[in-house]
Structure 1
Amino acid sequence: MAAGVSGYAISMGAHRVVVVGGGFGGLGVVRGLKRADVEVMLIDRTNHHLFQPLLYQVATALLPAGDIAPAFRAILRKQRNAKVLLGEVTGFDTTAKRVHVDLPDGTSRSVEYDTLVVAAGSQDSYFGHGEWAEDAPPMKTLEQAVDLRSKLLRAFETAVAADDPKEWLSFAVVGAGPTGVELAGQLADLARRALKGQFREIDPRDIRITLLDAVPHVLPPFSEPLRQHTRTKLEKLGVTVMTNAMVEKIDAHGLTTKDGDRVEARTIIWAAGVQASPLARKLAEATGAEVDRKGRILVNAEDCSVTNEVFAIGDMVNLDNLPGIAEPAIQEGHHVAKVIKARLENRETKPFRYLDLGTMATISPGDAVADIKKLRLKGILGKVAWAVVHIAFLVGWRNRVAVLAQWAWNLVTGRRAQPIILEPMHAIERK
């Protein structure tokens, strides 16, 4: 006798662990249970793990999409106790211990579990102005990054034949956190170095890149010396930095701040804020847990549990207000895997303790900042530290080697690996 989705049955004799979401946290749980006496099912709406910290490098044509998004089945090919299910989780029945899933063929199924781990991540927040997404798209998924790459490259192609090239060579990035800073820096390098010689009709002086945020500084989590270094370097790259600039209106030709300043930009990228996945609220409703104002579910700080059988980790949880970056999710995933194994073996586990490894952001191919406790690195030392950490966190040696090779090629030649325009599927479907 078996239970679960047809074709994905889990033995009734095995302890069934269902993991929702294959990001840093969810994948960490699955891999952490490799040698445990359990059967694991990973459910995700995509078939790949996404290394989000390098997503902006796909958007700026530096890396191919596949280098930061290995398929789950390839990652888990040797883990015999793990199964993968492609589907959209729509809800939870924690009384019957079931997860409701919409499958690719249009049908719906319920997957039974003994232990549930939800690691559904986060989504972009437009602070009540969802209509801005049409003119200022986000960059949270691989599809969005590829679409953005096409939009950026199309802007250069359009400028070549336009009566007013400056109109199409105007870019704005909303949000001066690590993602916004890294995106603005890479965009400046793409525009002034990588495309040099390929777009001889374009005068680099016509390119305008604006980075703006409502907060007083770029990189708010960092120390003041590193914030100042970052701003100075961005401005040397030709980026106009606007702080204390709250966006009030966005349209197809630019944006307006609350103070009335107008920024003309035909390409606007949103990197200003995130909120928890809607599954956090659904899980809270199913379990009776609470959510904070950002929609994050509150969990037990000692073991990341919501109930005895349900855990939640990553960006969708509030655990002592840890930052929504990769490292907390990774550590939470490893801890939950240990807790599950310990419970099955009737062992106790130590409470979860977060090890702060600091924060990092890259500015240009040869410059980055790293704030690691009392150690503050910038320039080439910061870049080396940044590169080592990111390569270490990438999944798979093939991806690590490929990314290193692309970085080296770009550093030496200034050329990009993927200057390709792909038409978005929704545009093709309209034809």
Structure 2
Amino acid sequence: MVDGDPAAAGGGPGGRAGAGRAAGGRLAAPRRLAEALLIAAVSPVVPGIAHLRAGRVGVGAALLGVQAAALTAAALAGGRYRALFLELSVRPSWLMTLTAACVVVAGLWALLIAHSYAVLAPDGLAPLWRLAGGTTVSVLCLLVIVPPLSLAQYGYVQRHLIRTVFADGPVPAPAVQVAARRGGADRGPGGPRLNVLLIGAGPDAPRDPGRVGGITVAGVDTRSGATTLLGLPDGLRRVPVWSGAGPVPFAAGRPLSEVYREGAEHPELLAGGGRVRDPGAELLKRTVAHMLGQDIPYYVKVDERGVRELAGTASRAASAKKGCPFWANLRETGPMAVLKRYRRLARVLINSVNTDVPRRLLPPLAGLAAKIENAEITSLRPAAGRASAPPADHPALRALAARAPGERVPAARPVIGLPILSVSCN
């Protein structure tokens, strides 16, 4: 070899080709790295794509098959068993299973991203590129676990809400619950009609827990979901307070709203014994059922501040129509809007709602709620002030309570001897 030979100096064709191949290799590695990261990123959506790209056809096909089967089953179930999913969403045991399953899915997705990157990561990467690839994969793993872990959190919050708000244990016997029943009306959502007493607590409830107002009987047709809200004037006098087995002495001049305070201060008035969640609400429920001649097995007590906060949290719509509950406006709110605020909604519900509805009835009640969503809702409010309020056991009130849920009544006209206002909540 002669000094100064161009070939020896790398200046010949062979030297230039080697340098080109080296440069091409340096450029190809980052491209292969970018390709590996991109395929790893989409692997939770298309599992197995990285394995197919790497030539592992068996594993890749298996993962794609599992994904296709899962998506098909979910689509079919979502279309045919929506009501079932709604019922399962109020079962604490299923919610715990959902929470655990979401955590497992989050781990599997993160593992899938890491393994997909591992089978495609190019060899011979410079340390800086290896660090960049590992960092990117870590970020992708953190991002992919957010959706399932968020769903797990919703499941946990829902379970906590159900276990906190709703009663656990058997329902008291019908003989203790109701007197003056007419016929053999069923007490659960499986019967043709379900009545629930809605009790409102004023904004000063923390300072005066015995003060309530806004006493309403919600009658629901369990077949169609049609609902009538019969608002009872707070000023009703001559109230026939009922213990569940007999009358309770109560001054004729005291209004219906005072029955709650009487029960709260004297829980021994309740017949049948046993522990109840809210003696005041229980005595008021039995009294209203007795004076209307209707079976009212359950009550729901909500404080006024909670209603306002719920309405402001769950819906951006206008305030509810007069005489209609706030949830009439929730129809105008999309599911995603409710989901975004669900944790706050759950907190408000836990702090504002008290009920004796047992947990075991929540699944059928969830199905009933789906019917109410698209059904006729009518509010009946007897237009009677304190001075002109009829006795609490007025026959007109019984006649109004006996009307079929959702049945319309001419507005602002005397009906069966009692002037009322009728408002459609739809």
TM-score by length of 2: 0.21
Higher helix share: 2
Report the structure number with the largest CA radius of gyration. 2
| Higher RCO (C-alpha under 8 Å, 6+ residues apart) | 1
Which has the larger strand fraction? Answer: 1
Normalization by structure 1: what TM-score? 0.21
